[in-house]
Amino acid sequence: MGWDIQNLFMFIVVAAAVVFVVVEGALVYTVLRYRRRPGQVPGPPVGRHGNTRLEIGWTLLPVLVLAVVAVPTVGTIFATAAPAPRNAVQVQVIGHQWWWEFRYPGLRIVTANELHLPVGRTANFALSSDDVIHSFWVPALGGKRDMFPNHVNNIWFTPSTVGDYPAQCAEFCGESHGYMQMRVVVQTTADFDAWVRDQQGVGATVVTGDAHRGAALFAQGTCAGCHAIAGTTAVGNVGPNLTHVGSRSAIGGQLLDNTPANLALWVANSPSAKPGSHMPAQALSKRDLASIVAYLRSLK
C-alpha cells in the first residue's frame, strides 16, 4: 500500500483541478460577458424560467464526477484493508499519553518513540492504545489509522527508501498531543539486523563509577516502578522501556535531543518541558541526578 494511496491522491488532485478550471472558467466568462456596460440603466433583472438542459447537465455532471472518484477510492480502501504479506515485519504499536511504544513480538524487542524498519520489506502494524484515542501517521510512508483502547487496528506499508522520517500522532489526545512525535528509521537489511542484535542484548553489561551509583538509585527509587530495563530488577511498564535509552537520538517523544543536560532536565522535571507529562517532577540532589543521568547514558 502506500503507493496505492499516493496514486489515488494524485488522480483526485488532477480530477479536482479539471473541475476547478471548468467551473471557475465558466464563472469568469459569465462575469465578463454579462457585466454592466456604460450606458446601461441598472434595474431588476428580467425574470425567466431556468434552462432545462443546463439544469439536467449540472445535476448529472457532479454525479458522474463523484462516481469517477468513488470507484477507485472504494477499490483502494479494500486493497489497503487486505492482510499484509506473510513475511512482513510484525510491530505492535501502543499509543500512550504522549509517547509511542513499539513491540516486535517475533524479535523480542520493546522500545519507544524510535521505530526501526528494514527497507524494501513490508511492515505490518498492530495498533492499539493504552489510554485515549491516538492516531498512527507516518506522512512520508503510508496512511493514517486510529488507535483505540481495547481494539486492534492494522495498517501496513513497505518503505522503499532508506532514511529518517518524522511522524506525528494525528488525533487530539490531550494537552501534549502536539508533542507526541516519533522518528521512523528505515535501514538497509544489514543495518536493521545489527540494530536488532543490539536491542536484543542488555543495554550495559559493566556499569562503573557514577553510572553504577545511578543504577542503584534507579532500581531502589521510584524510577523502577514505571520503567523497565532488561537485565535489572526494574520491570515497570507505565513509562517507556529504557533498556537502550542511550542509543536513542531524542527523549520525551522526540521533544528533546538526547544530551546529558536535556536528560537531567527531563528526569528532574518532565512536566516543565512537556505539559501534562505523567512522569512527576523528582526531588533529587544534584549528585543523584547526575548519577542517574550517567546511568541512562550508559544504556546503549
Residue type, 88: A
Which range touches ligand CUA (CB under 6 A), out of 101-109, 166-174, 243-251, 258-266?
A: 166-174
C-beta closer to ligand CUA: residue 168 or 282: 168
The piece of 24-32, 80-88, 167-175, 238-246 that touches ligand CUA (CB under 6 A) is 167-175
Is the Cβ of residue 180 or residue 265 nearer to ligand CUA in the bound state?
Answer: 180
Residue 95 as a binder of ligand CUA (CB under 6 A): the answer is yes
DSSP bridge partners of 115: 184
Cell of 270: 518532565
* Distance in Å, CB of 169 to ligand CUA, minimum: 3
Q: Does residue 116 touch ligand CUA according to CB under 6 A? A: no
Read out DSSP for the chain? --HHHHHHHHHHHHHHHHHHHHHHHHHHHHHHHTSPPTTPPP-PPPP----HHHHHHHHHHHHHHHHHHHHHHHHHHHHHHSPPPTTPEEEEEEEETTEEEEEEGGGTEEEESEEEEETTS-EEEEEEESSS-EEEE-TTT--EEEE-BT--EEEEE---S-EEEEEE--S--STTGGG-EEEEEEE-HHHHHHHHHHHHS-S-S---HHHHHHHHHHHHSSHHHH-B-TTSS-B--SS---TTGGGSSEETTTTEE--HHHHHHHHHHHHHHSTT-SS------HHHHHHHHHHHHH--
Interacting span for ligand CUA (CB under 6 A) from 109-117, 155-163, 172-180, 187-195: 172-180
169 binds ligand CUA (CB under 6 A): yes
Binders of ligand CUA: how many residues, by CB under 6 A?
9
Does 145 bind ligand CUA (CB under 6 A)? Our answer is: no
112 touches ligand CUA by CB under 6 A? no
The C-alpha cell at 12 is 483526485
Q: How far apart are CA 131 and CA 163, in angstroms?
A: 31
Taking the complex as a whole, the smallest distance from the CB of residue 257 to ligand CUA amounts, in Å, to 21
Among 138, 180, 186, 263, binds ligand CUA (CB under 6 A): 180
- Subset of 204-263 contacting ligand CUA (CB under 6 A): none
In whole angstroms, the minimum distance from the beta carbon of 79 to ligand CUA comes to 27
Residues 142, 171, 227, 245: which binds ligand CUA (CB under 6 A)? 171
Task: Give whichever of 169 and 242 is closer to ligand CUA, judged by the CB atom.
Answer: 169
Applying CB under 6 A, among 115, 141, 155, 173 the residue interacting with ligand CUA is: 173
177 is a site residue for ligand CUA (CB under 6 A) = yes
From the CB of 177, what's the least distance to ligand CUA, in Å? Answer: 4
Question: 127 has which bridge partners?
Answer: 93, 153
Footprint on this chain of ligand CUA (rule: CB under 6 A):
95, 98, 134, 169, 171-173, 177, 180
